[in-house]
Amino acid sequence: MLATLLTRGDSTVTREKNFQINPVVIALSLSFLGAAQSQAAIPVFINEIHYDNVGTDISEAVEIAGPAGTDLTGWRVIPYNGNGGASYTPAPTLSGAIPNQNNTGFGTIRVDISGLQNGAPDGVALVNASNQVVQFLSYEGSFTASNGPASGLTSTNIGVTEGGEALISGAVQSLQLTGTGTQFEDFAWSTPVLNTLGAINGGQTFSTGSQPPVSRCGLSNIAIHDIQGTGASSPLLGTQQEIEAVVTGSFQGSAGLGGFYAQEPDAEADADATTSEGIFVASATAVNVGDRVHVLGTVGETFGLTRLEGATAVNVCSTGNALPAIANVTLPFDPGTNNAEWREGMRVNLPQTLTVSENFNLARFGELVVSSNGRLITPTQVAAPGAPAVAFAAQNQLNRLIIDDGSNIQNPDPVIYPQPAGLSAANTLREGYTLTDAQGILTFDFGAYRLEPTQALSFVPANVRSATPPPLPGIGSLKVASFNILNYFNGNGTGGGFPTSRGATTAAEFTRQRDKIINAITNLNADIVGLIEVENDGYTATSAIADLVNGLNAVNGPDTYRFVNPGVPVIGTDEIAVGLIYKPAKVALVGASAILDASVNPNFIDTLNRPALAQTFRDKTSNKRVTVAVNHLKSKGSDCNAVGDPDILDGQGNCNQTRTSAAIALGDWLNGDPTGSGEANYLIIGDLNSYAQEDPISALNSLGFANTLANFTASNGGGLNYSFVFNGESGTLDYALANPELSGQVLAAEEWHINADEPRALDYNVEFKSAGQVLSFYNADPFRASDHDPLLVELFVPGDLDKDGDVDNLDFNVFRSALGKCNGSAGFIREADYDNSQCITNADYRTWYRLFNAYLSNIAAQ
């Protein structure tokens, strides 16, 4: 096919459609072919030659130069022997496009020709993909070609030669064009200098001078929908194409995406809903939204996005044009039609109310994940493992869209969301926030669809922070908390020992971490706190758990908290361990603690699961006892292939059987009263690394341990329980599970959502933050103190002797039946012995009666 173009001295001539034309260069006239080469401007040309060394052949090559982006696929460099005029081999065939070197819009390609002859004369012909001779040059004289594409043509002698000086101390020299210009005729051949094969010559400057660009507006072009096609990738991949469309989004420069989006005007769009009318153009040429532009570039696919690359011509044809109509897109995407791909690169509006499901990369890449119908839920939080969970995961995948910030910058400063003020410790953007009518360009990158907004986004704080835990009934006498404190490592305990293996990098970072954790635990105000991910460095004065207790007591008063010392140097072999702290004013230790590890039950693999720690406490108000077991089961993050426990792709991740076996061992162990408490109130807390419908939780349920959080959801508005967010999906990894004897005495169980919903940039770390962000992203408050949310359980109504959660005549009847009984006799009830006299007396009755009246007063006040 032949297409029309402008050329020097003519109104129009024809050219090959795929022939590459730079907009600032006068095209090669077809009248040149077969005529004297000096009569036409040559935009692609031979730029450098090395053909002769003394005594050896080294690095013989020819260099081709021309406008960046010119596709040389199918072009050849054919060597000719001046003795007889015949061509010889090798005659390399080229491929690929000319690069943009030094941001000049021009570049070079090195073509190695082993055995390039150095007779007097010899030469080379540059032949395009249509077998037409573009140049026929010779050195050390001229001659006429006798065969091949140059047959009958007389070579042009370049007028300079190489000799022995072409190889000096191993440095290869060459003959090069020098001067300033854009085409062959603008330059002159120089005597041998050090070679620059594959790079712009040292004495050469590519410059358009005062020559105005040749506008290509209105010339032949292809519709964007033909480039996009109906599939996930373009049917024209790798070909050079021209488009003319309206700029709908400009994201140029180093702070942007390196280009702009263009879309066909409505009148030029096709009627096929399955083909997109928009495309990304990688170009630094300045454009504005509303410009109609003509672009010459190569169709490419980058991370799944169809785009025009290597644009050698971007002409602004007109400005202020009306934008194409915006298309409505809704989540979830349709699994059967691939309707998101139909709108790739186009202006879209999302009319729904969307919920922020993930902000993990908000400060790292300026990204948020949004979904429809509320936040995304971890499949196995609500669906059974296997086919139901896999189907749920597929639905989640269709119901997620990344909101981007229009930039490729990592660790941007400022982080623009939430607009207009941007992210800071005082201006968060939590998961659960919502937005409506988000507008922008729908695009695809790094395996996911995303929106590049073209107008400000207004987020509604639908999930506001709470500086204090959710309110509890307040009629219970004991509060138990569970808190994963995310690698609390205090160095060597005396201010040194940083960086630590898992936690803070510096002492200053540790102070930031410590202040947040202490703030959170202080506000939890629990009587017993199970700790997860505390450094496993023992129980001396310099240990991490001692440091935390010291910090808490410095804030809350001396001896407010103590830690449980299990009487061993460390618990298990991991760098992190579980721990227990408590308020001695509220509870007393009963007996020694107990540890569950592989020595107790070999099914509990303690090299993968962290050993469990159990301790019995006596509540000094209700006189009831509870045994609290804090746990940290094997994570899903690394495999357990060594023990034959791989991820079987049922939604439960790595090491499910390892966790399940540990859970069964835990339930059996605790039901056996490992601390010898004599009172069957057992509470399992901690990070079980299992979602609510997974096998470990089901195993504990079958052993009688009920998920207390499932019955109390005030912190979530009566909705989903969650303590952790991963991959934009929310679910429960942290639990409080009560055995049947204790379940009726659980008055409330709530999560305090201070961590999982917050951007990770608001944590204590200083990495990946500017100096200003180290200050503005941090506050010594509880928010993002960790990555897990803590939970809080209220237990025991004082005076509730029948363990049904209230105090009434039934409890009086229980007390009356025990009155006068002593320890060791039938009918003695230990928790009714309020003065610990070992007998139930009238003094105990008076205490019980006060508790009864206090309960009635609490109920009346609510």
CA proximity to 323, closest of 261, 217, 248: 248
pLDDT the model gives residue 153: 92
Burial code of 612-651, b = ≥16 C-beta within 10 A, e = fewer?
bbbbbbbbbbbbbbbbbbbbbbbebeeebeeeebeeeebb
Q: Supply 772's token pair.
A: 């200003």
Residue that is written with structure tokens 């039950």 in the block: 601
Decide: helix, strand or coil at residue 522. Answer: helix
Burial code of 109-121, b = ≥16 C-beta within 10 A, e = fewer?
bbbebeebbbbeb
Q: What is the pLDDT of residues 549-567, one digit of tens each?
A: 999 999 999 999 999 999 9
Q: What is the pLDDT of residues 344-402, one digit of tens each?
A: 999 999 999 999 999 999 999 999 999 999 999 999 999 999 999 999 999 999 999 99
Angle 783-789-793 from CA coordinates, rounded to 5°: 120
Q: Where in the chain is the domain with CATH 2.40.50.140?
A: 224-323
pLDDT at 526 over 90: yes
Backbone torsions φ then ψ of 32, nearest 5 degrees: -65, -35
Which CATH number among 3.60.10.10, 3.40.1710.10, 3.40.50.1370, 1.10.760.10 corresponds to the domain 478-795?
3.60.10.10
- Amino acid at position 646, single letter: P
pLDDT at 30 over 50: no
Q: What is the mean pLDDT of residues 180-187?
A: 88
What one-character-per-residue DSSP string does 78-111 give? Answer: EEEETTT--B-S--PBP-SB----TTSSEEEEEE
Element (H, E) at 314: strand 305-318
| Assigned CATH class of 224-323 | mainly beta
Question: Taking the model in full, what pTM does it have?
Answer: 0.77
The residues that bridge with 75 in the sheet, in sequence order, are: none
Look at the chain and count its residues.
862
Q: Supply 20's token pair.
A: 């590459």
Residue 695: pLDDT band with limits 50, 70, 90: very high
Q: Where in the chain is the domain with CATH 3.60.10.10?
A: 478-795
CA proximity to 133, closest of 193, 75, 47: 75
For residues 510 and 492, give the distance between their C-alpha atoms in angstroms, rounded to a whole number. 12
Q: What is the pLDDT of residues 407-429, one digit of tens each?
A: 999 999 999 999 999 999 999 99
Region of poorest pLDDT, from 4-8, 150-154, 851-855 = 4-8
| CB-CB neighbours of 373 under 10 Å | 12
Q: What is the pLDDT of residues 778-806, one digit of tens each?
A: 999 999 999 999 999 999 999 999 999 89
On average, the pLDDT of the chain sits at 90
